Structures are given as structure tokens and as C-alpha cells.
Amino acid sequence: MRTDQFQKMLVDLNGSTSDIEASALISVDGLMMSSAMPQGMDEDRVGAMSAALLSMGERTARELARGKLDRVLVQGEDGYVIMTSAGEEAVLTVLARPNAKLGLIFLDIKRAAQALGKII
């Protein structure tokens, strides 16, 4: 039942703007909980990398006295990968287009992460 809720929330997040191409909810140990990703994307790899990057981001923020981590942002020439915590047990990962309006996406991601965190 929760998986259906996760799936609906991810599909809604992807539909909130054309700038978001994909999203996934991943456990902190890197296992895919739910995803709304294109065909052919390796979900196991996405899960493992997302969990590792968020963990490293949290450690970096702490070690360099930057406070509580808000998000990890990876920018490539073909777009963005944005990761944020969804509660204590999960990571929300979003893939966005290269010309995305990041402020609006950050707001949508924050709302989705809070809602997902309450269900987990």
C-alpha cells in the first residue's frame, strides 16, 4: 500500500514541471523503494549512487561546519541530479533538465520529500 502512495507522489512530482525528468525514493542503504524513471535506467546503480552521495554530503557538511545538509546537487552538461533526505530512512533523487528553473524545483522537491518522509 505504501509503495502505491510513493509511486503516486513521484509521478505527481515528475508532473509538477516539465523540467523534472525522473525521480526515485531510495532507502539510506541504497535499495530502490519506488521510482518514476525512464525505461533503461539502471535503478540499482541509481539507488547505490544516491545513497552514497547523500551520505558523503551529510558528512562533508558536518565536517566543514556547514550545518544540516539540505541537498546534494550534481550538475552535468545534460542536466542535474538533486538528492535530499526524505525522513530519516530514505533519499529522494530527482533528475532535471539542464535549463531547469532550480528554485521552483527545489521547492517541489522539498514538499515531496516532507510528504514522503511522513509516510515512511
89-119 pLDDT tens trace: 999 999 999 999 999 999 999 999 999 999 9
Q: Which pTM value belongs to this model?
A: 0.94
Integer Cα distance of 65 and 114 in angstroms: 24
- Cβ pair 105, 82 in contact under 8 A: yes
Confidence of residue 120 (pLDDT cuts 50, 70, 90): confident
> pLDDT band for position 26 (50/70/90)?
very high
